[in-house]
């Protein structure tokens, strides 16, 4: 008989006179179970604690209704708030519109009064010119008080133009009449409006200088030219950005051209007067 071999291997038995053959060795183990049972030994067992309750039934219709109600409530709240914002905005814009119309009307009136004052000053009607300048100042002060609550309108372009024309009238009247030149504190205007008005008042003196030359008074024209030179010297030394001075550089350039033309006219008038004086002197000696 052959020897036994380890379990799980074939046993070889050799009998005399017969060829060797192999036979499976039974180890006494239980029959193998199906593969599915080996992999999931507990698959066929159902325990009480492993039984789960079915998930709660959802109600999509009710959830959507609640969500829709929430959105509707929020939308209604926003609608009410937006209506309130609209009312506030309309009220503020209405106030700005009224202030703008008031400012435009006041600015036009101030410019008209200032123009009349300048013409009166050139005609030599100084009392009338001063009265018109005073009226323009009163109107400007009243407009400033009414527009104090609307700074956007108060310091807008058309009010700046009104202030500038008012300064031009006041300074021109002072130059022509020989009075005291008012400053920005006297007139209660912005610095940019004052310096621009001063430059334009100097330009206005050309008209008075030409009138003096037509009256055969070149000495008076030369005096007015000196005022123009002094005013131009002042505004030329003011060097700030255009946003601060309100376009003073352009006004100064225009004034420089006016001064140079006036200088040429006054020089020609003075030379002509000198020539006429010499001719009269020669005539008097010949007689």
Average pLDDT over residues 61-71: 61
Phi-psi region of 246 (alpha: psi -120 to 50; beta: other; left: phi over 0): left
Tokens of 276: 């006429």
Q: Is the pLDDT of residue 171 over 60?
A: yes
Q: Is the pLDDT of residue 286 over 80?
A: no
Quick one: CA dihedral 106, 112, 113, 117, positive or negative? positive
Q: What per-residue confidence (pLDDT) applies to 46?
A: 45
Name the residue among 277, 205, 196 with its Cα closest to residue 244: 196
Q: Count Cβ atoms below 10 Å from residue 118 Cβ, excluding itself.
A: 25
3-state SS, residue 230: helix
Integer Cα distance of 161 and 167 in angstroms: 10
Integer Cα distance of 132 and 144 in angstroms: 18
Taken in order of first residue, the domains within the chain and their CATH numbers are: 85-185 (1.20.58.2140), 190-287 (1.20.58.2140)
* C-alpha torsion angle, residues 40, 41, 46, 47 (rounded to 10): -110
Q: Is the pLDDT of residue 10 over 60?
A: no
HSE-up (13 A, CA, CB side) for residue 112: 7
pTM above 0.85, yes or no: no
Report the share of the chain in percent with pLDDT over 90.
45
Tokens of 182: 């008012």
Integer Cα distance of 217 and 215 in angstroms: 5
> Which segments within the chain are labelled E, that is strand?
11-13, 21-23
Highest mean pLDDT among 1-15, 145-159, 182-196: 182-196
The predicted-structure confidence for 112-137, as pLDDT tens digits, reads as follows 999 999 999 999 999 999 999 999 99
211 — pLDDT class (breaks 50, 70, 90): very high
DSSP character string of 66-104: HHHHHHHHHHHHHHHHHHHHHHHHHHHHHHHHHHHHHHH
Q: Is the pLDDT of residue 281 over 90?
A: no
């Amino acid at each position: 008989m052959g020897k036994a071999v380890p379990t799980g291997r074939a046993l070889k038995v050799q009998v005399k006179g017969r060829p060797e053959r192999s036979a499976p060795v039974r180890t006494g183990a239980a029959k193998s179970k199906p593969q599915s049972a080996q992999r999931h030994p507990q698959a066929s067992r159902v325990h009480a604690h492993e039984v789960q309750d079915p998930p709660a039934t959802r109600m999509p219709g009710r959830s959507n209704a609640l969500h829709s109600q929430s959105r509707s409530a929020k939308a209604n709240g926003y609608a009410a708030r937006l209506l309130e914002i609209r009312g506030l905005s309309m009220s503020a814009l209405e106030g700005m519109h009224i202030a703008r119309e008031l400012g435009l009307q006041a600015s036009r009136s101030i410019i008209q009064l200032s123009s009349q004052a300048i013409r009166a000053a050139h005609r030599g009607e100084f009392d009338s010119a001063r009265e018109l300048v005073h009226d323009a100042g009163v109107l400007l002060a009243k407009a400033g008080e009414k527009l104090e609550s609307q700074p956007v309108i108060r310091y807008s372009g058309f009010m700046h133009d009104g202030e500038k024309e008012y300064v031009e009238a006041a300074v021109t009247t002072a130059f022509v009449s020989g009075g005291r030149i008012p400053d920005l504190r006297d007139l209660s205007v912005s610095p940019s409006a004052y310096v621009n008005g001063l430059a334009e008042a100097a330009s206005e003196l050309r008209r008075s200088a030409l009138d003096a030359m037509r009256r055969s008074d070149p000495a008076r024209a030369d005096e007015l030219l000196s005022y123009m030179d002094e005013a131009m010297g002042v505004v030329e030394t003011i060097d700030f950005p255009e946003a601060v001075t309100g376009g003073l550089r352009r006004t100064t350039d225009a004034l420089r051209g006016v001064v140079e033309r006036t200088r040429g006219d006054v020089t020609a008038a003075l030379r002509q007067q000198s020539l006429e004086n010499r001719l009269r002197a020669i005539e008097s000696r010949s007689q």
